[in-house]
Amino acid sequence: MSAAKAFKGDPSLHNPEDLLLSSLMSCHMMSYLYVCGLHQINVLTYNDNATGTLETDEKGSGRFVEVHLHPVVTIDNPAQKDLANALHQKANELCFIANSCNFKVLHTATCNVG
């Protein structure tokens, strides 16, 4: 563990902010796979690369103001593509971590058929 690079930390090590993003991505993925299972959508691959916006104040403290998830999903049935995209909203509503945050957790999903 280290501080973020902006705070003179070691960029080769994880920092708490990275871990928060990782928690949000993981929780969204698990919620998404759950709702896909309820709708018999076979997810072949799932990748994400979240980004977060931080703000700092004059005292040196800071907070996340927004996190944006960018899931890229591959499913096997082209007829389910629209539903697969729509289920990200349901996954966001179910995600325990997102529901625990005091900032927006947004998502822009891409669904491919493989």
Secondary element (H or E) of residue 112: strand 110-113
What are the two backbone dihedrals, phi and then psi, of residue 85, each rounded to the nearest 5 degrees? -65, -45
Task: Give the domain ranges of the chain.
Answer: 5-113
Sorting pLDDT into bands at 50, 70 and 90, what band is 15? very high
Q: What are the tens digits of pLDDT across the range 83-93?
A: 999 999 999 99
What burial letters (b/e) apply to 55-74, b meaning 16+ CB within 10 Å? eeeeeeeeebeebbbebebb
Q: What are the tens digits of pLDDT across the range 62-105?
A: 999 999 999 999 999 999 999 999 999 999 999 999 999 999 99
| CATH number given to 5-113 | 3.30.300.20
Whether the predicted pLDDT of 47 surpasses 90? yes
**Going edge to edge, which strands form the sheet with 72-75?**
43-47, 72-75, 110-113
